Amino acid sequence: MSTAAHDPNAAKASNFLRQAIERDLDAGVYASRRFAGSPGDAQHHALAPIDPARIRTRFPPEPNGYLHVGHAKSVCLNFGLAADYGGVCHLRFDDTNPEKEEQEYVDAIIEMVHWLGWSWDAHGTRHLYYASNYFDFMYRAAEHLIEAGLAYVDEQSADEMRARRGDFNTPGVDSPFRGRSREANLARFREMRDGRHADGSMVLRAKIDMGSPNINLRDPTLYRVKRATHHNTGDRWCIYPMYTYAHPIEDALENITHSICTLEFEDQRPFYDWLLESLAAGGLLQRPLPRQIEFGRLNLTYVITSKRKLKQLVDERHVEGWDDPRLPTLAGMRRRGYTPASIRKMAEDTGASKTNIWVDYGVLDIALRDDLEGQAPRAMAVIDPLKLKLTNWTEVFGAAAAEPCQAPAHPHRPELGVRRFALGPEVWIERDDFAEAPPKGFFRLFPGNKVRLKYGVIIECTGCEKDGDGRVSAVLAQVVPDTRSGTPGADAVKVKGTITWVGAHDALAAEVRLYDRLFTEEQPDAGGRDFLSVLNPRSKVVVQALLEPSLAALPADGKVQFERHGYFVADRIDHRPDRPVFNRITGLKDSWTR
Ligand code: ATP
Ligand code: MG
């Protein structure tokens, strides 16, 4: 069984994918399928036991970039459906294109699918596959199509082929090479394989129907000549299969039952079925065959989910790498502090539909806050510090340099214990918690007003100090005696405001990176707009903040709620106990739909 950190009892909203799977399961469509424990052709599976997986799905990334939040949707859909219906989901690298693929991406993809909480281990097998391991079968299948009169070698130039393909309104025209004999085609195809022809000089095409209203059925290309070293098969091949030919075969060899893909492949479905039917009819593939089902892509407002455009942002240094916390790559989101549970929840809540959908980024943030609220310990932090001097300290506390204070680590989880810090004669407060001339409705510090220093004492503001430029450099206040939080006198004096603070003597200095949206427009690349023209110049602001001393013990990647400010994470790359670095994950309230 695929493992998922799902609550198995939670009712899931039905959708057309679930309905399709349930119909197939009720009808027993895939019940008699055999599985030999590894991918293979009809013969390989023929004598094997019945497949222990009730359904098989797959997530098939091309290892040419980092996964982004749109991929997470597909990951969660495929692994989630398999988990829910007693099936297995395969992780398959669709590495049939030799030019753009790299091991770095393979490793990063594996890491992120694991991070999301999914596993491809089931029935004692690691269902991790590489499409390039099927090149031998793909080649054999191509020879079979030629022998069956269903494929031919076309030596037209690319321009001639394009011209003869026709368009939406015009049927295509047969290639002059279309009528060649099977023997001549087979000989030519073998020459292609043996490196006897130049790159681009000829292709293998399916022989279907140049007059088909579906352009994808006008003799699509199956194989091309391309001298390129492949990351898995090296220089063994100089012909490579086209994606549209390779993908259905990959599904069939792996016994996939439901091949779930995005809408742009809808027009390819007739070819998918034509190809697999042709190969099954020839005895090469086991029946029943996989079926392709399309769903709408997930788009999130304020982000870009195109690998090409993300690469441009990285390559042109608009961001600081693939794991920049502003990017919607999973590596970036993890570094930003997003939790796997929140991403899975968003994927679940957005269901599956037959149209491409735009989801407000706020939906993800709501799921994130729900998850962090229950687990992140609390701490006080001052992000824009201003010194507060308690001028009657010695009268109230005598010679003591500091007065110990404590607070629960989490307001609703006493088992997480308490955090300790201390009040001293000087503390840091937020600059905007003081106003020399308070606006209406301002209940925090201004001369003559009393507030509580959270978990500490009540103080009364007496004035402020200014620097040479007239800017406030310190606030002055007096401690109101016998008002310590947690003592009988705490409620004797009523105040309207409570402010957060950290002691100047024990504050932990930290770099805090305040992240905001990377783009200023909801749909950065809508209508062909250059998305670089709507980059938010303030998407990253770095400040020196002062934190409660307990945070020195927080490990990298540890999450915390800074009271009043929002959720923050100790940066997984740069954070050190002696040089803390925190990223703002998100605020306490929705700031996306402002
Ligand atoms: P991109 O357009 O970013 O390059 P891709 O679809 O070309 O993405 P693949 O590696 O082929 O990248 O994607 C793997 C799987 O993820 C595919 O099945 C694809 O349909 C799915 N996928 C990619 N983007 C999204 C998205 N925004 N919403 C849902 N599924 C997606
Ligand atoms: Mg793709």
Provide the pLDDT for residue 4: 40
Provide the pLDDT for residue 13: 82
Cβ neighbors of 243 (< 8 A, separation 6 or more) are 94, 96, 97
The confidence band for 8, taking pLDDT boundaries of 50, 70 and 90, is: very low
Whether pLDDT at 120 is above 70: yes
CA distance 211 to 188: 25
Ligand 1: residue of 74, 295, 531 to mutate (most ligand atoms within 8 A of CB) is 74
Evaluate: CB of 305 within 6 angstroms of ligand 1.
yes
High-pLDDT (> 90) share of the chain, %: 90
Cβ neighbors of 55 (< 8 A, separation 6 or more) are 21, 24, 25, 30, 81, 82, 85, 86, 87, 88, 257, 258
**Angle of the 340-349 helix axis to the 69-84 helix axis, nearest 10:** 80
Residues 301-373+507-594, CATH architecture: Beta Barrel (2.40)
Provide the pLDDT for residue 7: 47
Provide the pLDDT for residue 3: 37
**Which residues face 579 on adjacent strands?**
576
Q: What is the mean pLDDT of residues 124-133?
A: 96
Ligand 1: residue of 262, 263, 264, 266 to mutate (most ligand atoms within 8 A of CB) is 262
Evaluate: CB of 67 within 6 angstroms of ligand 1.
no
Q: Give CATH 2.40.240.10 domain extents, the chain.
A: 301-373+507-594, 378-506
Evaluate: CB of 390 within 6 angstroms of ligand 1.
no
Q: Return the higher-pLDDT residue of 36 and 2.
A: 36
Whether pLDDT at 486 is above 90: no
3-class DSSP state for residue 238? coil
CA distance 108 to 217: 36
* Confidence (pTM): 0.92
Q: What is the mean pLDDT of residues 111-126?
A: 96
- Residue 489 DSSP symbol: G
Whether pLDDT at 94 is above 80: yes
Provide the pLDDT for residue 128: 98
Evaluate: CB of 266 within 6 angstroms of ligand 1.
no
Active site residue 297: yes
The 10s digit of each residue's pLDDT in 163-211 is: 999 999 999 999 999 999 999 999 999 999 999 999 999 999 999 999 9
Q: Give CATH 3.90.800.10 domain extents, the chain.
A: 149-240
In DSSP notation, 376-445 reads: PPEE-EESSEEEEEETTHHHHHTT-S-EEEEEESSTT-GGG-EEEEEE-SEEEEEGGGB-SSPPTT--SB
Cβ neighbors of 25 (< 8 A, separation 6 or more) are 54, 55, 85
Do 297 and 309 form a contact (C-beta atoms < 8 A)? no
- Taking Cα atoms as reference points, which of 463, 531, 553, 86 lies closest to residue 319? 531
Average pLDDT, the chain: 94
Q: Which amino acid is at 42?
A: A
Q: How far is the CA of 62 from the centre of ligand 2 (A)?
A: 6
Q: What is the mean pLDDT of residues 425-452?
A: 96
Active site residue 307: yes
Provide the pLDDT for residue 2: 36
**Which residues face 460 on adjacent strands?**
450, 478
3-class DSSP state for residue 45? helix
CA distance 362 to 556: 26
Whether pLDDT at 6 is above 60: no
Specify the DSSP element, H or E, that contains 261: strand 258-262
The confidence band for 103, taking pLDDT boundaries of 50, 70 and 90, is: confident
Q: Which amino acid is at 109?
A: I
Cβ neighbors of 252 (< 8 A, separation 6 or more) are 276, 279, 280, 285, 286, 289, 290
Classify domain 149-240 at the CATH topology level.
Glutamyl-tRNA Synthetase; domain 3 (3.90.800)
The matching CATH number, chosen from 3.40.1280.10, 2.40.240.10, 3.40.50.720, 1.20.1250.20, for 378-506 is 2.40.240.10
Q: 39-63 burial, b for 16+ CB within 10 Å, e for fewer?
A: bbbbebbeebeebebbbbbbbbbbb
The confidence band for 313, taking pLDDT boundaries of 50, 70 and 90, is: very high
The 10s digit of each residue's pLDDT in 328-381 is: 999 999 999 999 999 999 999 998 999 998 998 888 999 999 999 999 999 999
Do 239 and 192 form a contact (C-beta atoms < 8 A)? yes
Provide the pLDDT for residue 98: 87
| Range with the poorest average pLDDT among 1-15, 265-279, 409-423, 577-591 | 1-15
Whether pLDDT at 272 is above 80: yes
Provide the pLDDT for residue 286: 96
Tally of CA atoms within 13 A in the half-sphere of 497 that contains its CB:
16
Catalytic residue among 62, 266, 277, 521: 62
Do 584 and 559 form a contact (C-beta atoms < 8 A)? no
- For the four alpha carbons of 325, 331, 335 and 337, in that order, the dihedral sign comes to positive
Q: What is the mean pLDDT of residues 217-243?
A: 96
Q: What is the mean pLDDT of residues 88-116?
A: 92
